[in-house]
Chains A and B, each alone.
Chain A
């Protein structure tokens, strides 16, 4: 349905935000996961036809949105990471204006705006100017505008920023519902935001696609390589220097660490089931560069982690 082919974006000054990235998207939710600066927002803007790539092609229903963007724009819902509003308009007026920009007929726009305001729980606030809205309320206005024309392609960039936990749950449920028949591209650097909704994940760093697969595929490859151990507080730095540490909890007995290693880092280390954060750390960290020390080390022997030759994850699509 939507295809990104060898997309590259180089900004003025030579910053390569997206580097030869290819993705095929069909109905369903694809979670785009990566650290800050991975190129996610640039990629989202390219899909949303806001930014033109330096190289590469975009195809939607057989057409070229780079040459004729309006076809995709009519069927697109886009929620940018940061966006403003006209502060003197009410949410109903603002959505009415955007519905007209989208090309919705007056009757259809009226009905959908009321339904969407109810969906995002803003019905009681429709008479207030947007300038008096909180960050979370504005986020909900953003969600409503993205859904105005019942988009077939929904691009949401860090959508849960500013939402409280209950709003996050509601929004994730909404995305799951929408993904049944539509293309939903969700970008975030918060792992819990995608692990509960995305059956398909793409991990990116440095503008490149590192892995794509289901959460089970991504975590399955770490089986037997995630450990928990209790260490003396004084030893924490040394352990961090030798292994990627995905969690650290200070207890009365010491510091409980969750580390990634090929072999048990110590005699009392206990193997635990890997989760998506472990997989994210294992895949993205080598690509993003060293953060606290090398992967692997003498405690557990050489780490042949996910970046190594022969790693069994689904390889990145490169053309």
Chain B
């Protein structure tokens, strides 16, 4: 992968991308993402008497023909795959680093730009395959809903190809870009992307959005025009996103938006820009050289000369003289788990935690519960996400499997998460106690149990830190946006009292998640056998 190496041919590029794609689709996580795509497709075409919608024009929706089902599903896919697809495809380069395949490729004449382009194409293939499944689901949903069973492949697939696919190209390119930037290649990149994607999906719905944005403006114009023909423009506000409606939407006939040359050109430019963004890191990409960009990521990588010790001199060996004695260990297990959880945390992290804690002790109580507590319980997301997944991600599974007391270790791991949650949320807890806010304190306690339980369960089930990061951030976003039904910490208040689910319910959910973690760990061990 020399910077000045041989130019990569289209065939070689395709083989590289296809090889990478094959490796990814053979992972169990890929099947889960496809299932999620099917679920999204079902959600995008709700039953005629349903009370949830993803796409609406005021109190109207299009009749479920190919054009409308394609549009609704493609827009839903564009919206959610832009945000979540990033988490599915990132780590393509990181995996090559961990498996040392990257070093093998680096010793070939393949250029960095060719490698990055292949990674981009592989990302796009993964996301595109999810979009393909969405399209197939759309066909099935059109037939299932049965309002118009005449399937028009062109009308159905056009929104996928023109509206959604270019956005996924941008997501695929962003995943490559983030992986080549030291500050964004880790968990911080996951958090940054969440907010970037949020801004893109909100801003991308405005009529003046660059490159046609999400494609909403064009679709909305066409839908409104069709609705106008029916003689009732009503309160035709266009809405995209999972929303609850009191009364089922009224269908109207929409035959599709047609192809707009200007819009097509903007989408083409978006794809070209995405390609350029994916290749741009060739200017600084380290090509898996451990001597560039600090110590290598892999724990087993050879160190710099300074880290190596002189080889031991052959000599007679002196076995340890202290006889082993056995005793109580849970405290030390917990201390060890806390060390593992907090390992490598920078001073900046503690500084921000300290600042937020200070704010929690000084600002008015309403702001403490509504702003500071959510902030304090979002800030450690990267640390919580280590729960349940760290041993697998660091290849410690086999070693630890030969150690006794597996359940006690898992309990200690969970307890370390509770400690982290309690410590970061200490200031709001103190304020609630001082104010005598019993319900708030109960909600806080339930939240302190819920967060590490969720992290542990997702970590054990998925064996990766990314699932928790991908789910927890949107959950907190919804809490901050006053969605009371999901408030697990007591941040949403009505008349000064927590408006979310009761603390007993949240605590029960926490215990259920903890039980799921224990069961999943036991089941995984059986499966591995």
Contact = CB atoms under 8 A, between A and B. Distances in A.
Contacts of A51: 528-529
Contacts of B154: none
Contacts of A155: 402
A76 B326 contact: no
A104 B326 contact: yes
A247 interface: no
A193 to B, nearest CB: 15
B400 interface: yes
B283 interface: no
Given A45-B398, A82-B398, A101-B329, A108 B323 contact: yes
Most A CB contacts (10 A, CB to CB) among B390, B395, B398 go to B398
B409 A89 contact: no
A121 B309 contact: yes
Contacts of B319: 119, 147, 174, 177-178
Contact of A104 (B325, B344, B528): B325
B436 to A, nearest CB: 40
A93 interface: yes
B10 interface: no
A73 B323 contact: no
A51 B402 CA distance: 9
Interface stretch (A134-142, A228-236, A255-263, A273-281): A134-142
A187 interface: no
B346 to A, nearest CB: 11
Contacts of B312: 120-121, 166-167, 170
Contact of B317 (A80, A166, A174): A174
A173 B396 contact: no
A163 B343 CA distance: 28
Nearest to B295: A132
B336 A84 contact: no
Given A48-B402, A86-B343, A106 B333 contact: no
A149 interface: yes
The B interface, classified by DSSP as helix, strand, loop or mixed, is loop
Contact of B318 (A112, A119, A149, A150): A119
Given A111-B322, A170-B312, A84 B395 contact: yes
A60 interface: no
Contacts of B339: 89, 93, 97
B336 A97 contact: yes
Contacts of A100: 329, 332-333, 336
Given A87-B299, A106-B327, A115 B321 contact: yes
Interface string A46-84: 001111100000000000000001100110101010111
Contacts of B404: 69-70, 73-74, 101-103
B325 A107 contact: yes
Interface string A119-160: 111101100111111111110001001011110000100000
Interface in B308-360: 308-309, 311-329, 332-333, 336-337, 339-340, 343-344
14 contacts: A51-B528, A70-B405, A73-B403, A85-B394, A97-B333, A97-B340, A103-B405, A108-B327, A112-B324, A115-B320, A121-B312, A135-B302, A150-B324, A173-B317
A119 B323 CA distance: 15
For chain A, the bracket of interface size reads: 35 or more
Contacts of A138: 299-300
B399 interface: yes
Given A87-B344, A150-B320, 11 more contacts: A52-B529, A80-B398, A87-B394, A89-B343, A112-B324, A128-B307, A133-B307, A135-B300, A137-B303, A166-B314, A174-B319
Contacts of B316: 173
A96 interface: yes
B353 to A, nearest CB: 18
Contacts of A70: 404-405
Contacts of A149: 324
Given A88-B344, A111-B322, A169-B314, A137 B327 contact: no
Contacts of B307: 125, 128, 132-134
Interface string B383-405: 00000001000111011111111
Contacts of A99: 332
Nearest to A150: B324
Contacts, number: 187
B324 A104 contact: yes
Contact of A101 (B313, B315, B324, B400): B400
A309 interface: no
B391 to A, nearest CB: 8
Contacts of A115: 320-322
A128 B409 CA distance: 25
B137 to A, nearest CB: 30
Contacts of A118: 318
A130 B320 CA distance: 22
Given A103-B326, A119-B319, A133-B303, A93 B336 contact: yes
Q: Which of B332, B340, B390 has the most CB of A within 10 A?
A: B332
A119 B317 contact: yes
A111 B326 CA distance: 13
A183 interface: no
A22 B324 CA distance: 31
Nearest to B305: A134
Contacts of B327: 103-106, 108
Contacts of B300: 84, 135, 138
Nearest to A117: B320
A118 B343 CA distance: 25
B314 A173 contact: yes
A98 interface: yes
Closest 6 CB pairs of A and B: A88-B343, A84-B395, A105-B327, A97-B336, A52-B529, A115-B320
A83 B395 contact: yes
B329 A122 contact: no
Contacts of B337: 97
Interface string A179-221: 0000000000000000000000000000000000000000000
Given A86-B390, A102-B404, A116 B320 contact: yes
A112 B307 CA distance: 24
Nearest to B299: A87
A253 interface: no
B465 to A, nearest CB: 14
A35 to B, nearest CB: 21
Given A97-B336, A97-B339, A112-B320, A50 B401 contact: yes
Q: Which of B321, B322, B327, B409 has the most CB of A within 10 A?
A: B322
B402 A73 contact: yes
Contact of A49 (B315, B322, B401): B401
Instruction: Tell me which of B315, B320, B325, B336 has the highest count of chain A C-beta atoms within 10 A of its own C-beta.
Output: B320
B317 A170 contact: yes
Interface in B262-314: 295, 299-304, 307-309, 311-314
Interface in B366-388: none
A104 to B, nearest CB: 6
Contacts of B333: 97, 100-101
A249 to B, nearest CB: 27
Contacts of A88: 340, 343-344
Given A52-B529, A86-B390, A125 B401 contact: no
A86 B343 CA distance: 8
Contacts of B326: 74, 103-105, 108
